[in-house]
């Protein structure tokens, strides 16, 4: 894991580690992790079944909602895509509103972009 800007907190580096492990374990297209307003973390990989497709962020948001989370503090998406999908940003915004920090990185966990919802 690498943070070229040196701006990631220890908690955000943990999200990168969780997202990387989820992606690597399943060999999925993407790995993601989120931290809710209570500090709980949720990590997932893309689900790509013939009858069900859900992004890694979508799975994380669903897990957080199902666990009773009322908001999110941060999210990490590890992907080869050049940007975080708008639908993923919308899902984060639906749960937590504006201001959630989102880190996009590559499969190795190098953070390439920081944005907010």
Is pTM beyond 0.85 here?
A: yes
**Span 83-95, mean pLDDT?**
97
Tokens of 11: 């908690």
What is the DSSP secondary structure assignment for residue 86, as one 8-state letter? H
pLDDT at residue 6, as a whole number: 57
Work out the percent of the chain whose per-residue pLDDT is above 70. 95
pLDDT of residue 1 exceeding 70: no
**Where in the chain are the domains?**
1-52+72-105
Q: What is the pLDDT of residues 40-75, one digit of tens each?
A: 999 999 999 999 999 999 999 999 999 999 999 999
The helix or strand, by DSSP H or E, that contains position 19, with its residue range, turns out to be helix 10-26
């Amino acid at each position: 894991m690498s943070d070229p800007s040196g701006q990631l907190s220890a908690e955000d580096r943990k999200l990168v580690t969780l997202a990387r492990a989820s992606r690597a374990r399943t060999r999925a297209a993407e790995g993601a992790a989120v931290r809710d307003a209570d500090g709980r973390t949720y990590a997932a990989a893309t689900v790509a079944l013939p009858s069900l497709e859900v992004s890694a962020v979508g799975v994380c948001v669903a897990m957080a909602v199902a666990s009773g989370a009322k908001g999110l503090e941060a999210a990490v998406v590890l992907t080869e895509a050049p940007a975080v999908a708008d639908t993923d940003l919308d899902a984060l915004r639906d749960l937590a509103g504006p201001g959630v920090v989102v880190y996009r990185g590559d499969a190795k966990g190098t953070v390439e972009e920081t944005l907010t919802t």
